[in-house]
Structure 1
């Protein structure tokens, strides 16, 4: 049976993406816990929210639809009430579904604030390989790219689906996100994206890090007959093995929160980039960047939040900083902040930042935006763009997050996360700093750290101009 499309039209430049795989019902129960049950020493959760969404292949389809792409989901659904609920949870997605022959699988995660407490699975026993309808295989015909989101429930193992996918792979990019209990990618798949644990299980190889990922990716590419294998390595990035050799794709620095859906986001990003004509390495880099941005923005909870037109956060910034601060505070730690333009990062900056980080358990840098730097320093500044300055700061081990602000002073940014300590170089008098009054609003302290004379952006820029 085939479900119709709901929601608005795809945006201009959208790609036709077909997602093939197993669809689940995901439930996130979130609340607070301040007491133990009188019946047993277990926490009592006071439920605040009960969020439901299409999971598995349905989550991939949802991500792509929210990005404005023309999305078709090829899956199987139960004829129970939860199957109907999944359809209702997929606005903007064309659903082409055959009968599952099994109850709808439901995965319920119970969380207390940011901490997972328990997951409850219902109907998640492995079902028989489902029947496949002609409508399901026909839906693959006109895709710009295909994503196989295998969750081990048989859609990707069905012979008719596999034959159709192998035929499509001859002329259309196919991205295969495998599952330990699922089927192998079909020969000719453009790229398979196992994570490190999956690559270890599939390949039977041991080891750690890039050497292991290189060996596993090469072995799996040969065993599966795929054009490439990208072993994803969490916040480190991905290792891609193809006919041209191996290439490591690093991930942008970010403070990862709830990882649910990060692999789905990566596979979706790779498929869209391939559909747009990107080369393999560039497509994997796009997928890694998408997954990092997804985590930095708050993960699956932010994906379904009603944020209007608010843009996704740059990895390592703003909402990422707020989540970091909340976690450090929950552990009883001290939050330190500092600020500045950090245009042409130099040794003096690095020493000051390192000293500031030593004052507590995390360091958040409040960074003047490009507009703010121009207002303070003149039209020729900044020398380096805001994005480059963020990236360089986050590359330092002593910097945990960056918040960009547009004003002359970071007072409003500071009020958002209320650091315990505001640190500045010793060339300032702590009592004269404009931020001192702001920190006093919540009992924060202003501290100066050693200043290193003779090192400045202006002097460095002049020296570069002299030799350049």
Structure 2
């Protein structure tokens, strides 16, 4: 019997923020994950639309760019690889030119395709979108009218068995109901279930997976309603959707075979319903983005959640991490993936003031640089934050796309400023500096100069505030050798930590 609950009386926890270091932990752990499902090819055709067609009131798109990305299970696998997992994909591929493109894109993304099965004479499923100025104009799909042949399904089942028997940390099922995951595959996974430490099911029809007793099921709102037989429609948007999910908690968990249920609600975030009835539901908050860019975000969410659990990250931290990964791809055009660097940056942005390790810093720098963005770097003690600091940091941020602030460690400050400094310890200084909206990343260094860190970061612009010239700075030769430029920014007289501390000690602050 469906024992419904009143969401207003149920304790609900809000996920996040979580440490940015968790993104790098996935890459360090490099869990081995097998993705089983329907792989397809996403195509994006874009160009300007300046007029309507004479043969009908439709925009005429002047094609300027065509690009392709893996879709469906291929997108989930590509996201896992981008996060540092070791990934094998088991899927059906055609033997046409689109299949060659898809296999090449998967291999370029770091996805193993040795277990993919090619069906002779089969066309690859392709979803092509026509886009102008970031707005979809039309979509047209191509592919076979029927699912794979029985012999192909048997070959997929055998490939799943080979992939799992070599040892896995997780299996992610990405079932788009295109026929790759047939009865043969379910039977193999059921037989091998004891050898699968973590089974995550992301399926259009999750009810068919209950006999495998998955650990996690990740339906969207409409799939959750279908899981309950469609007896009650899900509200279209807003808090009412979260309330609907919480109200049907017991029924959803039971219908999912006793698994943790993670219901994704696109712009409204996600709701995690733990299988443990004593654990409260958990909600995430999504960063709003254009609906046109939500393509593939569900794949990213499921992939990031699977990678997090497979890497040993706590279940209560995984939803916030997965939500940040989904937010990253929603902020980008087309079917995108979330890399370790992009996830680290997004986690850091949701936990402003956190002090990043150099490993995490370099992952963020690589992501920004890969997108052609300009890196600005500055350093200092920033002991007692004042107006001069804020003005200087705003000027520095205006010189590029991302501002890195490197703080002297407490020991370094004492060597430079005297034994009574710093006034505030490193963690406190990082928390205050990181809370300034123009600061993107905060890290620290233990030496008296940031020379070693500059060598690692290779900033496009190095800034310093004060009455210096570039020739006076020991960092200038290093920055210029690395191809960057040095900028000395405005100096506000009588605005310095030393002056403020002096006035306090003199009793005239």
TM range (shorter): 0.5 to 0.7
Within a 5 Å distance, the mapping from 1:40-439 to structure 2 comes to: 40-91=56-107, 92-95=110-113, 96-100=115-119, 102-123=122-143, 125=145, 127=147, 130=150, 131-133=153-155, 134-141=158-165, 142-156=167-181, 158-170=182-194, 171-180=196-205, 183-203=208-228, 204=230, 205-206=232-233, 207=235, 208-245=240-277, 246-251=280-285, 253=287, 255=289, 258-296=293-331, 298=332, 300=334, 303=337, 313-314=345-346, 370-371=405-406, 380=423
Alignment: residue pair count: 354
Give per-residue Cα distances to partners, 1:302-344, cap 9 Å, x unaligned.
549xx998886437799xxxxxxxxxxxxxxxxxxxxxx9x99
Greater share of helix: 2
Cα offset for 1:97? Answer: 2.2
Unaligned residue ranges in structure 1 (runs of 5+): 1-9, 319-340, 345-365, 395-400, 410-433, 435-457, 463-468
Structure ID, larger Rg = 2
The TM-score with structure 1 as length reference comes to 0.63
- Greater RCO (Cα-Cα under 8 Å, separation 6 or more): 2
Cα distance in 2 between the residues matched to 1:186 and 1:66: 31
Alpha-carbon contact 1:265-1:287 (below 8 Å) kept: yes
Q: Secondary structure at the match of 2:312?
A: coil
Is the Cα contact below 8 Å between 1:58 and 1:73 reproduced in 2? yes
- Deviation larger for 268-277 or 123-132: 123-132
Distance 1:373 1:259 in 2: 41
- SS of the residue corresponding to residue 47 of structure 2 reads strand
Q: 1:260 to 1:379 in 2, by over 3 A?
A: farther
Q: Per the alignment, do residues 25 and 393 of structure 1 end up closer, same or farther by CA in structure 2, a change over 3 Å counting?
A: same
Q: What's the Cα RMSD here? A: 4.3
The farther-off stretch of 89-98 and 21-30 is: 89-98
Residues 54/252 of structure 1: CA separation in 2 closer, same or farther (3 Å cut): closer
CA distance in 2: counterparts of 1:64 and 1:367, whole angstroms = 26
Q: Distance in 2 between matches of 1:385 and 1:163?
A: 57
State the secondary structure of the residue aligned to 1:73: strand
Shift of residue 373, structure 1, vs aligned partner: 12
- Aligned to 2:317, the other structure's residue is in SS state helix
Contact kept, 8 Å, 2:328 with 2:343, in 1: the verdict is no
Give 5+ residue unaligned stretches, structure 2. Answer: 1-25, 351-363, 365-381, 386-400, 414-420, 443-461, 466-489, 491-499, 505-509
Q: Which range moves more in the overlay, 50-59 or 252-261?
A: 252-261
